[in-house]
Amino acid sequence: QKEVEQNSGPLSVPEGAIASLNCTYSDRGSQSFFWYRQYSGKSPELIMSIYSNGDKEDGRFTAQLNKASQYVSLLIRDSQPSDSATYLCAVNIEGNNRLAFGKGNQVVVIP
């Protein structure tokens, strides 16, 4: 079982719609969860961090965490063409305090 899984293929959403991204993780002891945005040819940029169960909102982004289900999600409201990027889910592996990344989900916002 992979430490962090992001299984969805490329996601195409019309401008103004909600983009929903999902991530599952295997380490039950994980306490810190992050979403990074990576534009093509650029390095990952931190956009959200979440540590407690529930929702955390920051502008048009909402991160949702359910530790019991080992599930993290990211919602992008009012999607803009500038949101077109790959979104990486990252989970802190408590045993060795290492950040494990999923392979990422590509989002394409269609004007």
State the number of binding residues for another protein (CB under 8 A).
22
Q: Which of 43, 54, 69, 111 binds another protein (CB under 8 A)?
A: 43
SS3 61: strand
Which pair of structure tokens corresponds to residue 69? 């289900």
Binding pattern for the stretch 10-39 against another protein, x by CB under 8 A and - elsewhere: ----------------------x-x-x---
> Where do the DSSP E strands lie in 1-111?
4-5, 11-14, 19-25, 33-38, 45-50, 54-58, 61-66, 71-76, 85-93, 98-101, 105-110
Q: Which of 1, 69, 82, 96 binds another protein (CB under 8 A)?
A: 96
CA 97 to chain centre: 19
Cα separation, 86 vs 19, in Å, equals: 12
Residue among 69 and 96 whose Cβ is closer to another protein: 96
Q: Which of 45, 55, 57, 58 binds another protein (CB under 8 A)?
A: 45
In the complex, the residues that contact another protein under the rule CB under 8 A are 4, 32, 34, 36, 42-46, 49, 88, 90, 92, 96-104
